[in-house]
Structure formats: structure tokens, C-alpha cells
Amino acid sequence: MLNNVTIMGRLCAEPELRKTSAAVCKAYHNLRKQGKLTCRIDLMPNWYGFTLKQDEAALGKLIDNYHFSSGYGDEWIRYTSLKMAIDGGLTSGTALKSWPYKGESSLRKLDLRLDLDKLDGYIKTAHYSGWDVGIHVMGDVAIEKAVNAMYKAIKANPRPHRHHIIHAYYPTAETLSKMGEVGIMASVQGSFIYGEADGYDAILTREKQEDFLPLKSYLEAGVICSLSTDMPCADVNPFWSMYAAVTRKGMRGHCLGERERITLKQALRMLTLNGAIQNGEELYKGSIEPGKVADLALLDRDLLTIDDESIRDIQVEKTMLDGAFIYER
């Protein structure tokens, strides 16, 4: 089953970026009109922490300037949530966390991507306006700040929502509990295990390797996780992401430990239906059921019978979009 493709357009305040965003959105609409759109598009307008310049006044007007909110669009082009970011990346040394890297005795000083003192207000504004939020967080402190802000907004106004944290490498037990309680989801990427795990011995203790991207713990806490690739920051091959989620292995074989392994069936659900749930689209996509769109992938082997090591070798034989085959290997 094909999952949706998310395009993060820079719908922010600077004039040149507004022009670029409008052109990108118009290009997708033109492709659709011409019958050339070969995937369904979900758009995440970039908000605080995801603009080239933090123009607070202009960013504050973004929601008012868009006379719609999450769910606007149709089955082909749809707005799902606002995209935000707090910290950077683990391997770049810019993740906001409470513990030092391997071989270091103190925490690194970081320049964060938004003002944490204003985070509660940002999330509250989005939540009360009908927008869902997807926020880039890596370290445990960044995750805690994002989840706490969402938790408070949801408790104050318990409307249906699809808020989620993105990447989310190191959640604490308290954070997982809050996520499960109010339905905050996680967008995770096994592809980073596959592409980066072989080098983690140099920067992470064994304990922190075991704790990295704890998919099993997320599931046990009742958190809905979608499994994606984060292309172009990682490889677009979804089966490499699935393989790493199931085996916890990098491409050269380094294993982060078996404690947080999940099953192939769990990974398959994350890769398909859970992505649709995260974007509020589960009524018409994400699983093979009567009444849902016929977007299918025909694979070269049976996912229910293969061994774990074969997952990364899966090939797509054909793909179907809206009931018509559009690709054959």
C-alpha cells in the first residue's frame, strides 16, 4: 500500500519565499489539471523554527492570512498541519538533550530554532485555530518541551487533533505517558537507523544506542507512529526504513540492540495506515478496504512470510494510482 507523500512548502513571511511557495503550490495544481499528478500531496506550511528568517510579526499573521486550517483540500492536494522545529540533529551535535555525547563531560551550547519561552503560545494559537502541528524534535529536552506545550493546549481545549512530533529519538517515560493519554502521535524514520547506526559507536554510549528511537516503547505507551523516510535527508526506499525498524541494524550490520525491535506487521501498519491517520485521511486511504482509494504497490515477495533480513531487498513490481497502473519495473 502506498503511503502519502508530504511536501513541506515554505509558506512564510518573506516576499521572495511567498512567491516561491505560491509557484510550488500552483505547479502541483497545474499537474493535477493536466492529469500528470502521480501521487497524492500533503502540504505542511512552515511556521516557527522553519523559516529562513524568524520574522515574528509576519509569522504571527500566517494563520490569519490563511482562511482555512488542517484538512483543507481534497484527496489529491491537502493541507495537514503546520511544520515547526526546535532543535537540529543528533549527528550534527545540535540535538537538545539532557546528556552529553560519548567522550564529552558537558552539554554543548546550542542555538535553537525558536524561542522556547514562546512555544506554549505558538502551540495554543495553532490548536485553537484548528491547525494541527508537526514539530521537529530530536533530543529528550526538545521532545519534552514540544509534548508539554501540546498537552496543555489539548487539555485546555480537547478538540479532535492530529498533533505529532517528528523524528523524536529520545522520549522520556513521562513524555510517552502524556502522548498516550491525549493522542499525540509520532512521525519516525527507521531510515536514520539504516543510514547512520553504523557510526553511532563514535558518539553514543551503548545505553543511548539501545534507547535510540524506541519504537516498541512508543507502541506500548499507546502512541500512534507513522514510519517514513525523511527523503532527501535519508534514502527514499521505504523497505530500508522498515528493515531498520524491525532489525535495529544499520546498512553495514551494526545493531543498536533488540530491546526496541518491532514486528514486520507493526512496521507495515506504521508505513501505511498510521500515516493516513496522522494526516486525518484514514477514511479513504492507508489500507486495502472497500470504499478507499485504489493506490497499491505490488511487491516481489510476500511480506507475511519473508524473514527479517530479506526486508531490505524487497522490490516493487508495479504501482497503481487511483485504480490505474502507472509504473512497472
Domain extents for the chain? Answer: 5-328
What is the distance between the alpha carbons of residues 200 and 103, in angstroms, rounded to a whole number?
Answer: 12
The stretches of 50-172 forming alpha helices (DSSP H) are 56-60, 62-65, 119-128, 140-156
**Contact status, residue 12 vs residue 24, Cβ threshold 8 Å:** no
pLDDT in tens, 244-260: 999 999 999 999 999 99
Mean pLDDT check: name the lowest of 15-19, 101-105, 222-226: 15-19
For residue 170, what pLDDT is reported? 98
Q: Please state the rounded mean pLDDT for residues 276-303.
A: 95
Of residues 234 and 178, the one with the higher pLDDT is 178
What is the distance between the alpha carbons of residues 238 and 170, in angstroms, rounded to a whole number?
Answer: 22
For residue 62, what pLDDT is reported? 74
What is the distance between the alpha carbons of residues 193 and 5, in angstroms, rounded to a whole number?
Answer: 21
Superfamily of domain 5-328: Metal-dependent hydrolases (3.20.20.140)
21: number of Cβ within 10 Å? 17
Q: Please state the rounded mean pLDDT for residues 55-69.
A: 76
User: Nearest to residue 312, comparing CAs of 211, 219, 166, 190?
Assistant: 190
Confidence of residue 232 (pLDDT cuts 50, 70, 90): confident
For residue 52, what pLDDT is reported? 61
pLDDT at 228 over 80: yes
321: number of Cβ within 10 Å? 17
Q: How far apart are the first and last CA of the chain?
A: 16
Grid cell listed for 60? 504571527
What is the distance between the alpha carbons of residues 316 and 2, in angstroms, rounded to a whole number?
Answer: 11
Q: Please state the rounded mean pLDDT for residues 209-234.
A: 95
pLDDT at 121 over 80: yes
For residue 2, what pLDDT is reported? 40
pLDDT at 14 over 70: no
pLDDT at 9 over 80: no
pLDDT at 66 over 90: no
Confidence of residue 45 (pLDDT cuts 50, 70, 90): confident
Grid cell listed for 240? 530500508
Mean pLDDT check: name the lowest of 4-13, 94-103, 209-218, 297-306: 4-13
What is the distance between the alpha carbons of residues 232 and 292, in angstroms, rounded to a whole number?
Answer: 29
For residue 23, what pLDDT is reported? 64
Mean pLDDT check: name the lowest of 24-28, 51-55, 316-320: 51-55
pLDDT at 131 over 80: yes
pLDDT at 1 over 80: no
175: number of Cβ within 10 Å? 24
